[in-house]
Amino acid sequence: MKKLLVAIAAGALIVPAAAMADSEFSIVLQGGASHYNQSLSGSDTGAAYGARLGILPTPMLGLELGYMGTQNNIQASLDQGREASTLKTNEGYADVRLNILPGSVTPYVFGGYGLTWVNGAAASGVPNSSTSTLPFGAGLEANVGAFKIGGRFQYNYLFSSINTGNTAVTVNKGGNSDFWGATVDLGASFR
């Protein structure tokens, strides 16, 4: 009876340890480009930068916590009552990640929820504000030993308006004032 209990206890410890053998924790730094859609058409393609933590308890499914910052110049437009400025955003987000083909080179998709702070463009008529965001997209990641290298496209759907111009023109939520970021990723993986 004691041998049976010891065998069951050992099995109860080995199964979770074996399941955790496929788990992964990663830290990734990002850098690339960002751009706003139609309503902020006077904005230039700018810089995107960030970092994210990934927790993949299985090779297919995981969670990510991240930060994405952007800086985009807005051109002056006299007919819209807009002076030149730099629009800055800071977004914190959490998403669910699905690895499509787990392996040494892994394509993946993700989607989640974020909160974006917009500031720095008061001269262009864009007030400091915050809005809920739906970040989603896809990426490709390669593991080279303990290092990660890859690329990612993240689209950010904004749930509320961004006001542009001193004439108080309001942009409809989503679609027109959304922004995207395309980044190159470099990080480390802990298994």
The per-residue pLDDT of the chain, averaged, comes to 79
Give per-residue pLDDT as tens, 114-136.
998 878 766 666 667 788 899 99
Give per-residue pLDDT as tens, 64-118.
999 999 988 877 655 555 566 777 889 999 999 999 988 889 999 999 999 988 7
Residue 125: predicted pLDDT: 62
pLDDT at 15 over 70: no
Which residue in 97, 96, 89 sits closest to 162, CA to CA?
A: 89
pLDDT at 6 over 90: no
Q: What is the mean pLDDT of residues 139-144?
A: 94
Whether 73 and 43 have beta carbons less than 8 Å apart is answered as yes
What share of the chain has pLDDT > 90, as a percent?
Answer: 44
Spatial distance between the Cα atoms of 168 and 121, rounded to a whole number of angstroms: 14
Residue 134: predicted pLDDT: 93
Q: What is the mean pLDDT of residues 155-184?
A: 65
Q: Which residues contact 15 (CB under 8 A, 6 or more apart)?
A: none
Q: What is the mean pLDDT of residues 27-47?
A: 81
- Measure the CA dihedral 118/154/177/119, to 10°: 10
Spatial distance between the Cα atoms of 64 and 53, rounded to a whole number of angstroms: 6
Higher pLDDT, 75 or 149: 149
Residue 129: predicted pLDDT: 75
Of the pLDDT bands very low, low, confident and very high (cuts 50, 70, 90), residue 161 is: low
Tell me the β-bridge partners of 52: 28, 66
Could you please report the per-residue DSSP string of 45-85?
Answer: PEEEEEEEEEEESSSSEEEEEEEEEEEEEE--BGGGTB--E
Which residue in 187, 183, 138, 151 sits closest to 47, CA to CA?
A: 183
